[in-house]
Amino acid sequence: QQQVKQSPQSLIVQKGGISIINCAYENTAFDYFPWYQQFPGKGPALLIAIRPDVSEKKEGRFTISFNKSAKQFSLHIMDSQPGDSATYFCAASSKETSGSRLTFGEGTQLTVNP
């Protein structure tokens, strides 16, 4: 019940296109859903996060869509750029049951072709 399932495993998008990565969870106690971006040789960097009281959050070209009833959330990258090529991880945590502990998805390797 602690798992977070992420898809696709890899994604190739043309420059200017929209990248969409999906995640699903089972634990209804999760109350925080961040997305991290990781470049080779670096640690994950917090990109954007959402809480279950809103259905969408947008920051620049990055948007999280959240569907509480379906227990799913997704990351949309608009106008994808080659510099966005990285591995993206969704995660979830429950402040009440597990403190700051993050449960991560398996990761999506995004390649944006010029």
Planar angle of CA 62, 68, 71, nearest 5 degrees: 90
- Of the ranges 8-16, 54-62, 73-81, 91-99, which one interacts with other proteins (CB under 8 A)? 91-99
Residue whose C-alpha is closest to residue 3's, from 107, 106, 73, 108? 106
Interface residue with other proteins among 25, 36, 66, 88 (CB under 8 A) is 36
Q: Which is nearer to other proteins, 21 or 80 (CB)?
A: 21
Asked if 43 interacts with other proteins (CB under 8 A), we say yes
Tell me the one-letter amino acid at 36. Answer: Y
Give yes or no for a contact between 50 and 114, defined as CB atoms under 8 angstroms apart.
Answer: no
The token pair at 103 is 């449960």
Q: Which is nearer to other proteins, 32 or 62 (CB)?
A: 32
Which residues are at the interface with other proteins (CB under 8 A)? Answer: 31-32, 34, 36, 41-46, 49, 89, 91, 93, 95, 98-107
